[in-house]
Amino acid sequence: MFKILKKSFKTGIVTGQYPPAPAGQKFSVAPTAQKKAELFRKSLTIREVDTGSCNACEMEMNALANPVYDIERLGIHIAASPRHADALVVTGPVTVSMEGPLKDVFKTTPNPKLVIALGDCAINCGIFKGSYGVTGPVDQHIPVDVRIPGCPPRPSEIIEALTELRKGVTTFTRWFRKFSGNP
């Protein structure tokens, strides 16, 4: 008991002790996605689906939940079922055998939902492009809203993309747009 307390005090708070993401906005957001993402400004629940990645992207997704990145502090939660999810994070090229399960997961995720393609493989199949075992990038099977490139993207880059995506617009801007007739 005292050992545990001592260890916790000695360690202190490690959250945020990571180098910032490399400069330059690399991720891309589909035009319609920004509006959808507004709903999830305060809280976003993610379901991760691996459709054939090399598991480096999974390791980085797992790292998001560690005390250093701790994405729960940003209101992002990782769900155990697609039925509880607001966003699907898909990693890897879609393999012949995973195409069916991916479509099933997409169907079972309630609307409105975001689809985030994480890593080069999910965006353009990366090094596995063209192989008989791969049916194509994620957007060939389900509509993709956000693309976060990298092989694999660093956790800091993922956090940056998710934060940027959910910034949305302020109530004032929305009000201003409404009255100025300028959407």
Show Cβ contacts of residue 68 under 8 Å, excluding neighbours closer than 6 positions.
Answer: 14, 15, 16, 17, 18
Residue of 178, 183, 171, 168 lying closest to 34 (CA atoms): 168
CA-CA distance, 53 to 60, in Å (whole number)?
12
Q: Shortest distance, CB of residue 124 to other proteins, whole angstroms?
A: 14
Contact between 3 and other proteins (CB under 8 A)?
yes
* CB nearer other proteins, residue 16 or residue 167: 16
Tell which positions 25-84 bind other proteins, by CB under 8 A. 48-63, 65-69, 78, 80-82
Q: Shortest distance, CB of residue 23 to other proteins, whole angstroms?
A: 15
Tell which positions 136-155 bind other proteins, by CB under 8 A. 151-152, 154
Residue of 94, 88, 90, 93 lying closest to 114 (CA atoms): 88
Contact between 99 and other proteins (CB under 8 A)?
yes
Q: Shortest distance, CB of residue 47 to other proteins, whole angstroms?
A: 9
Contact between 133 and other proteins (CB under 8 A)?
yes
Residue of 85, 103, 84 lying closest to 94 (CA atoms): 103
Show Cβ contacts of residue 148 under 8 Å, excluding neighbours closer than 6 positions.
Answer: 26, 27, 116, 117, 118, 119, 157, 158, 161
Question: Is residue 89 within 8 Å of residue 46, measured between CB atoms?
Answer: yes
Distances (CA, A) of 60 to 155, 163, 170: 6, 16, 31
Q: Shortest distance, CB of residue 149 to other proteins, whole angstroms?
A: 15
* CB nearer other proteins, residue 18 or residue 38: 18
Q: Shortest distance, CB of residue 171 to other proteins, whole angstroms?
A: 34
Contact between 13 and other proteins (CB under 8 A)?
no
> Which stretches of the chain bind other proteins, using CB under 8 A?
3-4, 7, 10-11, 14, 18-19, 48-63, 65-69, 78, 80-82, 92-93, 95-101, 105, 126-128, 130-135, 151-152, 154
